[in-house]
A and B are shown apart, each in its own frame.
Chain A
Amino acid sequence: MADNGKRVYTPADLVVGASTARAGKLGGNPYLPEVATVIDIIEETPTIKTFRMKFDDPEVQKNFTFLPGQVGQFGIFGVGESTFAISSKPSEKEFIQFSVMKAGEVTKALHNLSVGDKVGIRAPMGNGFPVEAWKGKHILYVLGGIGSAALKATMEYTLEHRADYAGITILYGATHPTNFTYWYDVQEWQERSDIELVLTIDRDCDGWQCDVGLVPTVLERMAPKPENTIAITCGPPIMIKFALISFEKLGFTPEQTYTTLEKRMKCGIGICGRCNVGPKYVCVDGPVFSLAELKELPDEL
């Protein structure tokens, strides 16, 4: 079976009782969530809450690492799991964080959680952004609404390693000033002189000091240069669609344009079959894809 150089895992690779958080891809029971306790809940917007959890097993907490852009299955025993981007800083050792917009069965139940409640987490999963390969480049983030959650860890990582990157620009849009997630961090970023931060809301309102206009419109007005730049976008599907068009207009090639996809997922480990876009599984081959990769896939986004 392994004649093409790919590794075949056998039962000998199994570490009984180990979880994905502990053993990664190799072995363990990838369906078995680690039990964690909610230690903090932040109400970001009327529909978005951020949950901070500590793994109950201190060893798991101590050894937990992930790549910016990776996701996890976060859920409640008895309700179910859903996939969310890990939105804590990759350097954070004290807790793991997910930001959740209230929408369906699982997310409604998550929004009812209180500090002290027990949850299940399977993480990390997926590929993450190639932040190492991007060293020396200018990074342009274009995000809207809950899309900020998917890019939060990556933004934090590049801000922490600011010196490794040529520059950082963040264009962040929301429908209304109350709908900015991580406002406390955004205010901190505004103070920093080493990043360019542009905030925009869809329609003007009293007291708003920054830009007004839809994200793609503002992006085209900003007219960032594509040279030595990586453009990353995430937000509502319609925003992503038009942002990608704007990037193309501005001269960004598909190879330097990235996004992260969301799909209905169940197993999160490339087996159950539902999150495929053509031959790619969003849960293991993604969620991060370059526009060049997306162009190879069927129109099933």
Chain B
Amino acid sequence: MSRQDHIREFAAQALADGRVDYFIGWKQGYNSSEVVPAFVKDPADVDQLIWTPLCHHNLVTFIKRNMPDPADAKIGLCVKGCDSRTLVALLQEELVDKEKLYVVGVPCDGIVDRRKLEKEFADELVDIAFPERGRVVVTTGKGETREFAQDDVLLDVCGRCRYPNALYADDVAGPLEAEPDREESGPDWSDIADFENLSDDEKQAALERVYATCIRCFACVHVCPVCVCWDKCVNRSREPELVAQKVGAKENLLFQMIHMFHVAGRCTSCGACDRACPVEIPLYLLHRKMNKEIYDMFGFEPGTKLDEKPVFQLFDLATDHFGD
């Protein structure tokens, strides 16, 4: 039985039992090169649910505050290993109610970066097929077909994955993927080594350049599963006005810096912001750098242990100390 069959079975069961009002998984988008989040209410519709290496959306986004509709809905959802860490982060902060959730863990061996494939062609992609594990076959609008090795076109975050299996789930869609030895090796921060080697002035210049093209659509903020402020977001507030609503390299950088600080110790490097950005800004840069600082300082990996508190909730004013 494939993982996809497991997902459909779990979803159908949970809907039929009334355990959930709707179930969130993935389905095909406007063509077979695209996957989008699927919201299934009727057990008869579970056949639209799919599991392929294109299922990149972190569905935890859709259970954060103000997303469930109705607000008190009982929700079932699929989580990959990375997604489950953001779920754990929300549970740690009591920002979602465990009792209203039904979670299906989906062991994952890597998600394909559609944008890497897009860059290979001037034409649009109309089909991405996976004839067998490890092979990716891409077809364009004009009918051109090319094959890629899956490992060559994975999301960058997948290459550094330490948690291929969900850390929190009620059911698991098939056998677990092999886990790396996390005791043996720490997180891989090689992706930000180049940035870290820059001088302060060069860093400033690099960041201003990176964010110069930001259009302030707030996709990165809204898609971020741990970003829950909505209308109270200081990046949009006029009272106090920390960031001018003007769009410009300086203002954009400040906006992203605030976002980074606000999710510091909560960001799990799931990469949802990166993939949502319509102008393809490498948003991971700042977040990864902050995550590394937090790991080096506190040995803290956000969203990995349910009984842990986020590092910045442990700060004790009286002792001026972060927990133990």
State yes or no: do A and B touch (Cβ within 8 Å).
Answer: yes
Interface mask (B235-256 → A, CB under 8 Å = 1, otherwise 0): 0001100000000000000000
Residues on B with C-beta less than 8 A from A105 are: 238-239
Instruction: Identify which of residues 159-199 in chain B touch chain A, using a CB-to-CB cut-off of 8 Å.
Output: none
A279: interface (CB < 8 Å): no
Q: Of all chain A residues, which has the CB nearest B238? A: A105
Q: Of all chain B residues, which has the CB nearest A104? A: B239
Nearest-CB distance from B58 to chain A (Å)?
31
Nearest-CB distance from A118 to chain B (Å)?
22
Instruction: Identify which of residues 39-72 in chain A touch chain B, using a CB-to-CB cut-off of 8 Å.
Output: none
Nearest-CB distance from B178 to chain A (Å)?
53
Nearest-CB distance from B241 to chain A (Å)?
8
Nearest-CB distance from A77 to chain B (Å)?
16
Residues on A with C-beta less than 8 A from B238 are: 80, 105
Q: Of all chain B residues, which has the CB nearest A108? A: B239
Interface mask (A77-104 → B, CB under 8 Å = 1, otherwise 0): 0001000000000000000000000001
Q: A80–B238 Cα gap in the complex (Å)? A: 11
Nearest-CB distance from A111 to chain B (Å)?
14
How many residues of chain B have a CB within 8 Å of chain A?
2
Instruction: Identify which of residues 155-211 in chain A touch chain B, using a CB-to-CB cut-off of 8 Å.
Output: none
Q: A80–B239 Cα gap in the complex (Å)? A: 12
Nearest-CB distance from A120 to chain B (Å)?
17
Q: A7–B239 Cα gap in the complex (Å)? A: 41
Residues on B with C-beta less than 8 A from A104 are: 239
Q: A104–B241 Cα gap in the complex (Å)? A: 13
Residues on A with C-beta less than 8 A from B239 are: 104-105
Interface mask (A259-291 → B, CB under 8 Å = 1, otherwise 0): 000000000000000000000000000000000
Nearest-CB distance from A83 to chain B (Å)?
16
Interface mask (A98-138 → B, CB under 8 Å = 1, otherwise 0): 00000011000000000000000000000000000000000
Residues on B with C-beta less than 8 A from A80 are: 238
Nearest-CB distance from B15 to chain A (Å)?
30
Nearest-CB distance from B256 to chain A (Å)?
24
Instruction: Identify which of residues 223-282 in chain B touch chain A, using a CB-to-CB cut-off of 8 Å.
Output: 238-239
Q: A105–B238 Cα gap in the complex (Å)? A: 7
Q: A104–B238 Cα gap in the complex (Å)? A: 10
Nearest-CB distance from A79 to chain B (Å)?
10
Q: Of all chain A residues, which has the CB nearest B241? A: A105
Nearest-CB distance from A273 to chain B (Å)?
16
Nearest-CB distance from A139 to chain B (Å)?
39
Q: Of all chain B residues, which has the CB nearest A79? A: B238
Nearest-CB distance from B311 to chain A (Å)?
34
Q: Of all chain A residues, which has the CB nearest B239? A: A105
Q: A104–B239 Cα gap in the complex (Å)? A: 8
Q: A104–B240 Cα gap in the complex (Å)? A: 11
Nearest-CB distance from A185 to chain B (Å)?
33
Nearest-CB distance from B233 to chain A (Å)?
16
Nearest-CB distance from A17 to chain B (Å)?
27
Nearest-CB distance from A137 to chain B (Å)?
43
Q: Of all chain A residues, which has the CB nearest B237? A: A105
Q: A105–B241 Cα gap in the complex (Å)? A: 10
Q: A28–B175 Cα gap in the complex (Å)? A: 71
Interface mask (B78-119 → A, CB under 8 Å = 1, otherwise 0): 000000000000000000000000000000000000000000
Q: A105–B239 Cα gap in the complex (Å)? A: 7
Q: A137–B56 Cα gap in the complex (Å)? A: 66
Nearest-CB distance from B105 to chain A (Å)?
40
Q: A104–B237 Cα gap in the complex (Å)? A: 12
Nearest-CB distance from A110 to chain B (Å)?
14
Nearest-CB distance from B246 to chain A (Å)?
14
Nearest-CB distance from B243 to chain A (Å)?
15
Nearest-CB distance from B259 to chain A (Å)?
23
Q: A126–B204 Cα gap in the complex (Å)? A: 48
Q: A42–B129 Cα gap in the complex (Å)? A: 73
Q: A115–B8 Cα gap in the complex (Å)? A: 71
Q: A105–B245 Cα gap in the complex (Å)? A: 15
Q: Of all chain A residues, which has the CB nearest B240? A: A105
Nearest-CB distance from B240 to chain A (Å)?
10
Q: A214–B23 Cα gap in the complex (Å)? A: 47
Nearest-CB distance from A155 to chain B (Å)?
33
Nearest-CB distance from A145 to chain B (Å)?
23
Q: A216–B238 Cα gap in the complex (Å)? A: 36
A-B interface, 4 closest residue pairs, ranked by CB to CB distance from nearest: A105-B239, A105-B238, A104-B239, A80-B238
4 residue pairs of the A-B complex, CB under 8 angstroms, read A80-B238, A104-B239, A105-B238, A105-B239
Q: Which residues of A contact B (CB under 8 A)?
A: 80, 104-105
